[in-house]
Amino acid sequence: METVMNQQRNKIHPHKFTLWVAIASILMMFAGLTSAFIVKSNLTGWRNIKMPTVFWYSTAAIILSSVALQVAVRSFKQREMKQYRSMIALTLVLGIAFLVLQYFGFKSLWDQNIKFNGSAGAGQFLYVIFGLHALHVIGGVVALLVMFLKAFFGKIKLYSSVPVEVMATYWHFVDILWIYLLVFFIVIG
């Protein structure tokens, strides 16, 4: 009996496994896009882009949101529901702040005359890559909103930390992905 219980403890939860498969496919997509950027950037007439300062503020917002979410996970596991609720709320607010700051960053790029057209510029890649990242963050914000609503208005019947852990893993992933993309466009772009 003890052997069976040890085997079950060592198995990965199906939701976590599914998330890791999704993360692997998202990584492959972004690796392909950034590789294409590198190849295309060697063409003549390529125009580099200076990243707007507001992207650094959005980076701070998403990093702080990851820290808050990690505190929320710990609070949930320790059944400190008051702190869990406040940290989920803070994570949601910071996630929305990230998206708002991203909007201003894109507006700044547009004002620099970096458009989504032309054949010899980083603008196309930048908008596609950052736009796809923004879609993944929007998905994360929607999931955070659901968790927020459940934290404040739902009844917790089973203290399973799996949903909170899955959300945290996904959110940390989009956080790390954003940092990679920003550094990539600063160094390569």
Report how far residue 58's alpha carbon sits from residue 102's, in angstroms, rounded to the nearest whole number: 6
pTM for the full model?
0.84
Report how far residue 109's alpha carbon sits from residue 113's, in angstroms, rounded to the nearest whole number: 7
Read off the CATH number of the domain in which 102 is found.
1.20.120.80
Report pLDDT digits (tens) over 46-62.
Answer: 777 788 899 999 999 99
Report pLDDT digits (tens) over 90-123.
Answer: 999 999 999 999 999 989 988 888 776 655 566 7
Looking at the structure of the chain, the number of domains it has is 1
Both tokens assigned to 178: 């954003």
Alpha helices in the chain (DSSP H): 2-10, 14-40, 54-77, 81-111, 123-153, 162-187
Q: In terms of residue numbers, what domain contains 71? A: 2-187
